[in-house]
Chains A and B, each alone.
Chain A
Amino acid sequence: MGVNPVVHSGDPEINAAGHPGVLTTSLRKVLNWSRKASLWYMTFGIACCAIEMMATGASRYDFDRFGMIFRASPRQSDLMIVSGTVNEKLAERIVNLYDQMAEPRYVIAMGACATNGGPYHGLYNVVNGVHEIIPVDVYVPGCPPRPEALLHGVLQLHEKILNEGLPVRA
């Protein structure tokens, strides 16, 4: 568990064997820990990378180990994995889907196309990287990235979430 427990040294009863124990931590840490441990991602396969995303979710690489389950609706998901080339027609839809996701929401740009257009960089109709339309948290390079690379990207996102502050009330 990513929480640093603070042991009450002044209370010997708590530290005794068999006692259920008390853990003191900050709300920020508990929230971040639970968020990173149940990062549900949206099923939104766009192009070739989507097949590797499916491979990562399937039997061999198994996203479930990280508490990641795919959800079909943006309203139930925390993470959008942009897995493919974004073009002008799709860009509008991606912004729409991103807006529908509940906060806190995260975006992984998977593959060269989502990162900067990749092999299709600079062509008419192609958006040169998904960061031009929505904020991106983690970029995963590759064309397409191996499932290990995507898993590494997810672990990087976990690190990022663990170090987040509490949201400031406006």
Chain B
Amino acid sequence: MATTSPPAQAPDVRVVPDEQDRSSSHLYVSMGPQHPSTHGVLRLKARIDGERIVDVDPDIGYLHRCFEKHSEQLTYPQIVPYTDRCDYLAAINNELTFALAVEKLLGLEVPPRAQYLRVITMELQRIASHLIAFGTFAMDLGATTAFLYCWRERESIINLLEEISGARMLFHYVRIGGVRNDVTDDWLRRVRAFVDDFISDKLPQYHRLITGNRLFVRRTKGIAVLTPEDAIAWGASGPVLRGSGVARDLRKVEPYCGIEKYDFNVPVGENGDVFDRYMVRMLEMEESAKIIKQALEGIEAGDVMAPLPRRWKVEGETYVRTEGPKGEVGCYLVGDGSDKPYRLHWRAPSFVHLQLIPVISKGLLIADLVAVIGSLDPVFGEVDR
């Protein structure tokens, strides 16, 4: 709908100073970096008038771990585990983005079975990431029960992924040229069982528990509305963009891993408020489950790794983007013919979404700030990198 409209003028956001201006009646509040609801080490410098937010300015950099510069000292296969640690809630999607970029420069052809496994694991990871987004968001609004419920399902996903990769969180499963391990038929059956159970039993539980809850709806409906024009102008992507009603999913626009063969919908919101962003995530989990089911039916036997060159000569530059759980994960890679990248830039959706906080939270109550952060679902590993 709004995809064709020109980007709106970027609103003017004044940076909140560190020093207090004693001449005005506004109060400066520093929220974080140690705060249970900032989803990591985010600090918000807010200027408030009574209970209302006048201005808010995110302060980042508390988790800067030199990812991009460090990558220039590492060989390509060595970088893969570091990409896990960018968005640590969606390790598979990050590995995939980097692997796709290197494969594109190398001209590697990935075997079909590996393509299917990539689709299965990345959608499982999307469900796991959305579960955390849902659980922590609900907990921030005061519903601790939902948090405990969603961890139950996340542990099931982790069990499945741990079995094939050996790690609980930072899987290092998708490698350049394919995936690390082949899976057994029994594993595929258990993925199927999990997905069926998740869709028929667990997801309706969440909806009964949270979605229809009056307190929850009152705290999320109509809060922090992001218009489609603003969403596009500020570079939003993923559930944040789709929550504003823009049906743009990179799995549809720029398919990868053969995802164009699958039949799934792109859920969009109507109002662009906190509730819509939450609801888009909940509906996306269903779509992910659909994709997994189709992949499980279509999976074929074969190799899971393409033959790799003995000497790595990666040359040229490329930008590869995939649809991560948080939004567009992009990898800009420049190779100079050696086995190490000349430059690696990581496009992190959370980083882009953080700049929306000043845009959408003006005039809100200070308690709503927590709901705003939860609905944007930032992860600070990838914000600061």
Mark A residues whose CB is within 8 Å of B: 42-48, 50-52, 54-55, 58-60, 70, 72, 74, 84-85, 87, 89-90, 93, 97, 119-120, 123-126, 143-144, 146
Partner of B34, one of A87, A97, A143: A97
With contacts A59-B148, A72-B35, A97-B34 taken as known, whether A51 is within 8 angstroms of B63 at the C-beta atoms is: no
A124 and B66 contact, CB distance less than 8 A: yes
A84, B70: Cα distance in complex, Å: 18
A47, B385: Cα distance in complex, Å: 11
Partner of B132, one of A43, A48, A51, A126: A51
Chain B residues near A42: list those with CB within 8 A.
34
B80 to chain A, nearest CB (A): 12
A70: nearest residue on chain B (CB-CB)?
B36
Please report which residues of chain B, range 66-116, place their CB below 8 angstroms from some CB of chain A when the two chains form the complex.
Answer: 66, 69-70, 81-82, 85, 88-89
Partner of A119, one of B64, B82, B380, B381: B82
B62 and A123 contact, CB distance less than 8 A: no
A58 to chain B, nearest CB (A): 4
- Mark B117-159 against chain A: 1 for CB-CB distance below 8 A, else 0: 0000000000000001000000000000001110110110000
> Residue B225 at the A interface, CB < 8 A?
no
B66 and A90 contact, CB distance less than 8 A: no
Chain A residues near B155: list those with CB within 8 A.
55, 59-60
A54: nearest residue on chain B (CB-CB)?
B151
Please report which residues of chain B, range 9-32, place their CB below 8 angstroms from some CB of chain A when the two chains form the complex.
Answer: none
A89, B61: Cα distance in complex, Å: 7
A87 and B33 contact, CB distance less than 8 A: no
Additional A-B contact list (4), CB under 8 Å, known A55-B168, A59-B149, A146-B168: A87-B64, A87-B65, A89-B61, A90-B33
B85 and A119 contact, CB distance less than 8 A: yes
Chain A residues near B65: list those with CB within 8 A.
47, 85, 87, 120, 123, 125-126
B41 and A90 contact, CB distance less than 8 A: yes
B126 to chain A, nearest CB (A): 16
A-B contact pairs, 27 of them (CB 8 A): A42-B34, A43-B36, A46-B63, A47-B380, A51-B169, A52-B169, A54-B151, A55-B155, A55-B168, A58-B147, A58-B148, A59-B152, A60-B152, A60-B155, A74-B34, A85-B63, A87-B61, A87-B63, A119-B82, A119-B85, A120-B65, A123-B65, A123-B69, A125-B64, A143-B170, A144-B168, A144-B170
A48 and B70 contact, CB distance less than 8 A: no
Partner of A84, one of B63, B149, B152: B63
A163, B254: Cα distance in complex, Å: 61
> Residue B7 at the A interface, CB < 8 A?
no
> Residue B58 at the A interface, CB < 8 A?
no
Partner of B40, one of A45, A60, A70, A97: A45
**Tally of A-B Cβ pairs under 8 angstroms:** 90
- By DSSP majority rule, is chain B's interface helix, strand, loop, or mixed? loop
Most buried by A among B33, B61, B85, B151: B85
Please report which residues of chain B, range 193-207, place their CB below 8 angstroms from some CB of chain A when the two chains form the complex.
Answer: none
A47 and B64 contact, CB distance less than 8 A: no
A44 and B63 contact, CB distance less than 8 A: no
Chain A residues near B41: list those with CB within 8 A.
45-46, 90
Please report which residues of chain B, range 219-278, place their CB below 8 angstroms from some CB of chain A when the two chains form the complex.
Answer: none
A123: nearest residue on chain B (CB-CB)?
B66
Partner of A48, one of B34, B154, B169: B169
Chain A residues near B170: list those with CB within 8 A.
48, 143-144
A93 and B63 contact, CB distance less than 8 A: no
B82: nearest residue on chain A (CB-CB)?
A119
B32: nearest residue on chain A (CB-CB)?
A93
A50 to chain B, nearest CB (A): 7
A61, B61: Cα distance in complex, Å: 31
